[in-house]
Amino acid sequence: MLYYKLWIACDFSVKNLGSVLIYFVLDQKKSGGAYQTISGQIKKIDERQIVLKNRINIDCVLDINGQIYSRTSDKDIDFD
C-alpha cells in the first residue's frame, strides 16, 4: 500500500496537496530511534528520498496520509 501511495504522490497535482508522512529516525547516540511525523506539500520524490520540509529516506517511511489518499479505496487498487 505504501508504494501505491508513493505512486500517487508522484503525480504533480498531488504534490500540491498536503501530505503527512510517518517515518523512522535512528538515534545517533544509542541503538533504536523514534517515529516522527512531518506534514506539508511534497516537493520532490526520487528513488531514494521524499522532500517536504526535510529530505526523508524512502526506506524509513512507515506511512503517508493526506486528503488525496482518503479519496481512493482499496477496491480501486489493482495490485496485479
CA distance 35 to 77: 27
CA distance 56 to 31: 20
Beta bridge partners of 21: 38, 64
- Of 41 and 79, the one with more pLDDT: 41
Confidence category of residue 62, pLDDT binned at 50, 70, 90: very high
The pLDDT tens digits for 3-51 are 778 777 776 555 567 788 999 999 999 999 999 999 888 888 888 888 8
